[in-house]
Amino acid sequence: MAEASRTSEARRDAVFGRWVIFSPARSRRPTDLKSHAPANPSPGAPKPSCPFCLGRESECAPEIFRMPAPPDASPWRIRVIENLYPALRRDAEPPAPEEQAAEVLPGERAVVGFGFHDVVIETPRHDVRLWDLDADGVADVLLAYARRVRQLMEHPAVKYVQVFKNHGASAGASMAHSHSQMLGTPFVPPSVITRLNCMKEVFKSLGKCSLCEFQSNDILVSETQNFSAVVPFAASNPFEIWIIPLRHHPFFHEIDKDMALDLGSLLRTMLQKLSKQLNDPPFNFMIHSSPFEVSSSPLPYTHWFLQIVPQLSVTGGFEIGSGCYINPVFPEDAAKILRELHCSI
């Protein structure tokens, strides 16, 4: 269907349970949509003030672990460190079990701000972005995530770990040096509960997992042996991409080296495509996994995936007030553009 003849359409997402209004009249042609945020250029030469750069390790918060580089290269290729300005504090007293159990009860409550807030420095070089690394380099970053998540799950008070990356100041990045973060919380975040409940209802109604049945050629961008990259049927943002394991599995942190290499190659390609098509936009990506203490019963409908959200517009009053989104680009159009876009690998 030609873009000019399309009318608005509302779609309900089968993973988060939210409604999205697709309104192509609110934008120019999808191919004209570009980032107009402050430029996010390649970070350039090392900055005298950047504590993430090689040789300035002593200026950072304590190191948790590092992944060493080959003997003839730099002393490290990835470092996982504590966040110098943590949202939650690892030295705080963990909430008592009865306080953690209270999260399911209605009404207001407060617990001690205990938790873990870590930073993953993805490269020692200031002038390299995540998608500038080769597939093995991106895979190593993913394996560092998984290793740290497995460490955090050993703490009895940690119920969930959110892994995320902010790129660009308007997407929440305070440092230009390529890095990502993770927060281990003593509660299961509300959006995770909503996601699991929505997928549970789909499973009860249709007898299948929302993401196992997600594949469609119209929204497919790329596929590997183990993963599909799609623009979701009810994408909340223009050119949003989900990378979904083809094999049903609830936990990201159980990824192995071969899977990480496959995912690293695909993630790298998707970030390159977004950068080329959208003028290096600010973006966030999040890994949506399952809570550590998930029982055996939710496993048929819990399925982890990675979500990439380019930040091309400002969230307004309608979105905040209603919980719905307005997207000017139909997923099928965005997927076609990204599918046909070639990047130098």
Distance (Å, rounded) from C-alpha 107 to C-alpha 100?
14
Edge-to-edge strand list for the sheet holding 325-327: 9-12, 19-22, 325-327
Return d(Cα 323, Cα 18) in angstroms, integer: 7
Half-sphere exposure of 153 (CA within 13 A, CB side): 19
Nearest to 139, CA basis, from 51, 260, 284, 312? 260
179 tagged catalytic: yes
Read out DSSP for 242-264?
Answer: EEEESS--S-GGG--HHHHHHHH
CA dist., res. 176 & res. 40, Å (int):
9
CA distances from 170 to 80, 274, 281, 284 (A): 24, 16, 9, 10
Q: Which residues pair with 228 in a beta bridge?
A: 223, 244
Give yes or no for a contact between 307 and 288, defined as CB atoms under 8 angstroms apart.
yes
Please name the residue that has the structure tokens 């205990």.
Answer: 114
CB atoms within 10 A of CB 110: 7
Tell the residue number behind the tokens 């991409």, with chain if given: 241
Contacts of 14 (CB under 8 A, 6+ apart): 198, 199, 202, 210, 214, 233, 234
SS (H, E, C) 195-211: HHHHHHHHHHHHCCCCC
The catalytic residue among 126, 167, 179, 253 is 179
Please list the active-site residues. Answer: 179
